[in-house]
Amino acid sequence: MKKVKGFLFSGVHAGLKRKRKDVGLIYSLSEASSFAVFTKNKFKGAHIPVSKEHLKSGTSRAIIVNSANANTLNGEKGIKDAMRMTEITAKLLKLNKEDVLVASTGVIGVPLPMKKIEKGIKLAVSSLTKNGTSDFEEAIMTTDKVKKEASTYFRYKGNEIRILGMAKGSGMIEPNMATMLAFIVTDARIELDVLRRMLKFCVNRTFNRISVDGCMSTNDSVFIMANGRSGSPRIDRGKSFYMFRDALLEICKDLSFQIVKDGEGATKVIRIIVKNAESESFGKDVARRVANSNLVKTAIYGEDPNFGRIIAAIGTLSDKVREDIDVSVGEVIIIKNGRVVEFDRKRAKEKLKKDTVEIIIDLKDGNKEVEFLTSDLTEEYVVINSRYTT
Amino acid sequence: MKKVKGFLFSGVHAGLKRKRKDVGLIYSLSEASSFAVFTKNKFKGAHIPVSKEHLKSGTSRAIIVNSANANTLNGEKGIKDAMRMTEITAKLLKLNKEDVLVASTGVIGVPLPMKKIEKGIKLAVSSLTKNGTSDFEEAIMTTDKVKKEASTYFRYKGNEIRILGMAKGSGMIEPNMATMLAFIVTDARIELDVLRRMLKFCVNRTFNRISVDGCMSTNDSVFIMANGRSGSPRIDRGKSFYMFRDALLEICKDLSFQIVKDGEGATKVIRIIVKNAESESFGKDVARRVANSNLVKTAIYGEDPNFGRIIAAIGTLSDKVREDIDVSVGEVIIIKNGRVVEFDRKRAKEKLKKDTVEIIIDLKDGNKEVEFLTSDLTEEYVVINSRYTT
């Protein structure tokens, strides 16, 4: 698709990783309405308080990111280093440091190698280009196997408005949020409070409904920048609001799916659909229990129709679940009225062989529906995570 | 040690498993005060309502158990089959069916093969012997690699009181409870209400503080039978209460450790000690988060000093944790005042190489201490659980 107007990108190798790119930069040619949502973990990466501070004005011009080191649990030094990253970037781009946001991802509890970072930022600034998205996506990867990008556009009063999202995330994926970073840029013209409402809405329905390992990260962040360069009128609270929100939701959904698909060691995406919940929040609780059950995840990896494990996971929410629930895999009904029924094992097996396995849970207790994504649990997950720092 | 007086045991092969024993029986020569605690999962094994009903009198004479099939999610037929197990056993032992308790463990959602079970019960009744404990322990195993037994005794007013515990459990291990079954028999003379209080106290501090995979089972049960045959006076609420409770606690602790040690695929036991918690229940919450973090479990399996993962897990309880907590592994302090410190990596590595790895978390927020056991997460866990039914 055509480029989002007025944004440049780069990704360079600064030596934090052995070979791959590890410092990335996004730069807007003009002031952009900016907002971000961050992890709810008590122990937050140092980039979070610094970015929060710089987001107070509601606008920004650039985001500097490094991978391979999360800059988390590094105390005062961590904060100073994150701040320094914005200062170096600002100086080179002739901005105020408050115009620069920052993000880090990688190992926790190791100080940032600031010399390498500084070298990396210089290189990143001098490499900025319209076509730098792929380099940027590589630069933010940790255990990711593939780059993650999603884009869309819509026409509004004669102009095309474009949205591009780039993300990383593979492990420590769990709502609120995960070691995932997402960066969304758009050339829409849009007020901060509208942007904020839309991002929260979309994140809650996408990035907050995925899990790889049930482990909440210290660094997760979703950033959005809107620089208004499309030339179209301002997005307001009328029809354009919903046009933009739908487009943003599509981007967030797409990136969320990509993150789970590239989940550490994953061979399958598991799509859990909870139907007829009494509330969205309870539907999400049910979905999460299933999504984070190692027994469900291993059974699906093994394409093993051991579906009692699904209901065992749901049953841990004992007080609030009806006994007569239904569970099906694809269209194959496995559990009817809380009881395993005779089902066509061959057809069930076929459903399990797919890249995306659908588990549908009918709680029969209301009319809310919730979708949640997770990956299967494989030997490779264990291999990746038992050897990550050493 | 010497036998617990007045109990006979057996374990036989009825064909539910391919080769190993799969039906076990405990029989008391006289009426025994009996009590049990069961899983809090909404979807309970059919043995649970039946045993609960038969426990209403407060006494029992026998417990019949099968492995390889959990008799869970089988609807009315499941209940009928569990009841039938008590009837067959009662008839052969010339008891009322209310005198017989029942337990099942294994795959969920498959009807019990009642012909095999019936044959097994007959064989089990005819094989009862004082020395049948080892056979019984084999008969209750599923993915367990080793049998689990613990015994102790104490002297009370000139008589020896003996306690014997036998357990199974390897996966779906998580408080409240797990696919674990434990059977404790004693020749103490003891009132039902005293027995009930003691068992609850001990289970809460032991079996409810272990986790292998964070998956709550549908079948967990801990049974205790006290037949009074030691000849010693009744255990009352005085000094003898504490003597018995300490002995029972020792048995439960020992079996809990054995269950975690034999956790599916486990190579290490992880002992999590939370110090200075504001309450026991919050200390337990913290310990559980760490115990159920796949990232912590894989790091310890890999003997990888990636300790930030511990604090990331604790941080998910964001509202209630202080920022300046300390974490050490063995005596090696890793995190001081919420910040990773320079630590002796060689010494930390040595601590990680042990069979039991100790993680000590100081919350600095009160004076309660909680201990919690879990196992590491290995490729073998995935292999076992991706191929369990097929």
Beta carbons of B298 and A381 less than 8 Å apart: yes
pLDDT at B262: 87
Highest mean pLDDT among A88-92, A330-334, B205-209: A88-92
A317 touches chain B (CB under 8 A): yes
CA–centroid distance for A157 within its chain: 31
Question: What would the pLDDT profile of A111-144 be if each residue is shown by its tens digit?
Answer: 999 999 999 999 999 999 999 999 999 999 988 8
Q: How does DSSP classify residue A230?
A: T
**pLDDT tops 70 at residue B216:** no
Highest mean pLDDT among B218-227, B333-342, B357-366: B357-366
Euclidean distance between CA atoms A309 and B28, whole angstroms: 35
A311 touches chain B (CB under 8 A): yes
Tokens 């410190």 sit on residue = B341
**pLDDT tops 80 at residue A179:** no
pLDDT at A177: 37
Beta carbons of A312 and B218 less than 8 Å apart: yes
| CB distance A184 to A146 below 8 Å | no
Euclidean distance between CA atoms A26 and A22, whole angstroms: 14
Mean per-residue pLDDT, A268-297: 91
pLDDT at A174: 45
Quick one: pLDDT band at residue A294, thresholds 50, 70, 90?
Answer: confident
Question: What would the pLDDT profile of B49-64 be if each residue is shown by its tens digit?
Answer: 999 999 999 999 999 9
**pLDDT tops 50 at residue B390:** no
CA B113 to chain A, closest CA, distance in angstroms equals 15
**pLDDT tops 80 at residue A219:** no
Which of the residues A39, A179, A206, A218 is marked catalytic? A179
Nearest to A257 by CA among A153, A368, A167, A385: A167
**pLDDT tops 80 at residue A203:** yes
Euclidean distance between CA atoms B389 and A340, whole angstroms: 15
| CB distance B277 to B286 below 8 Å | yes
Q: A214 vs B73, which has greater pLDDT?
A: B73
Highest mean pLDDT among A384-388, B172-176, B348-352: B348-352
What is the residue-wise DSSP string for B271-325? EEEEEEESSHHHHHHHHHHHHT-HHHHHHHHTT---THHHHHHHHTSGGG--TT-
Mean per-residue pLDDT, B171-196: 77
Question: What would the pLDDT profile of B103-137 be if each residue is shown by its tens digit?
Answer: 999 888 889 999 999 999 999 999 999 999 999 99
Q: Which domains does chain B have, with CATH numbers?
A: 7-261 (3.60.70.12), 269-386 (3.10.20.340)
Helix (H) or strand (E) holding A36, with range, is: strand A23-38
B390 is catalytic: no
CA A106 to chain B, closest CA, distance in angstroms equals 11
Scored b (16 or more CB within 10 A) or e, A307-339 reads bbbbbbbbbbbeeebeeebbbbbbebbbbbebb
What pairs with residue B129 in β-bridges? Answer: B9
Q: A335 vs B113, which has greater pLDDT?
A: B113
**Given the DSSP bridges, would you call strands A159-169 and A180-186 parallel, antiparallel or unpaired?**
antiparallel
Mean per-residue pLDDT, B191-207: 92
pLDDT at A40: 79
B388 touches chain A (CB under 8 A): yes
Question: What would the pLDDT profile of B124-178 be if each residue is shown by its tens digit?
Answer: 999 999 999 999 999 999 888 889 999 999 999 888 999 999 999 876 544 333 4
Beta carbons of A316 and B75 less than 8 Å apart: no
**pLDDT tops 90 at residue B22:** yes
The pLDDT mean for chain B works out to 89
Question: What would the pLDDT profile of A31-84 be if each residue is shown by its tens digit?
Answer: 999 999 888 787 888 999 999 999 999 999 999 999 999 998 898 999 999 999
Q: How does DSSP classify residue B232?
A: P
Other C-beta atoms closer than 10 Å to the C-beta of B245 total 17
**ipTM surpasses 0.85:** no
Beta carbons of B294 and A213 less than 8 Å apart: yes
B293 touches chain A (CB under 8 A): yes
Distances (CA, A) of A330 to A205, A338, A351, A352, B271: 22, 18, 6, 9, 41
pLDDT at B172: 57
| CB distance A51 to A62 below 8 Å | no
Scored b (16 or more CB within 10 A) or e, A13-23 reads bbbbbeeebbb
Q: Write the residue in B43, B379, B388 that is nearest to A338 by C-beta.
A: B43
**pLDDT tops 60 at residue A221:** yes
**pLDDT tops 60 at residue B188:** yes
Q: Write the residue in B41, B317, B385 that is nearest to A299 by C-beta.
A: B385
Question: What would the pLDDT profile of A83-93 be if each residue is shown by its tens digit?
Answer: 999 999 999 99
Q: A80 vs A382, which has greater pLDDT?
A: A80
**pLDDT tops 70 at residue A270:** yes
Q: Write the residue in A293, A308, A386 that is nearest to B302 by C-beta.
A: A386
**Given the DSSP bridges, would you call strands B368-375 and B269-277 parallel, antiparallel or unpaired?**
antiparallel
Q: Write the residue in A43, A295, A318 that is nearest to B311 by C-beta.
A: A43
Quick one: pLDDT band at residue B199, thresholds 50, 70, 90?
Answer: very high
Beta carbons of B214 and A293 less than 8 Å apart: yes
**pLDDT tops 60 at residue A214:** no
Return the SS3 of A194.
Answer: helix
pLDDT at A89: 98
What pairs with residue A37 in β-bridges? Answer: A222
Q: Which of A12-26, A235-249, B278-292, B309-323 has the lowest mean pLDDT?
A: B309-323
Which of the residues B179, B218, B374, B378 is marked catalytic? B179
Euclidean distance between CA atoms A286 and A289, whole angstroms: 5
Question: What would the pLDDT profile of B237-268 be if each residue is shown by its tens digit?
Answer: 889 999 999 999 999 999 999 988 888 888 99
Q: Which of A11-25, A336-350, B100-114 has the lowest mean pLDDT?
A: A336-350
Per the structure block, which two tokens stand in for B359? 């993680």
Mean per-residue pLDDT, B17-41: 93
B308 touches chain A (CB under 8 A): yes
A381 touches chain B (CB under 8 A): yes
| CB distance B328 to B237 below 8 Å | no
Q: B385 vs A358, which has greater pLDDT?
A: A358
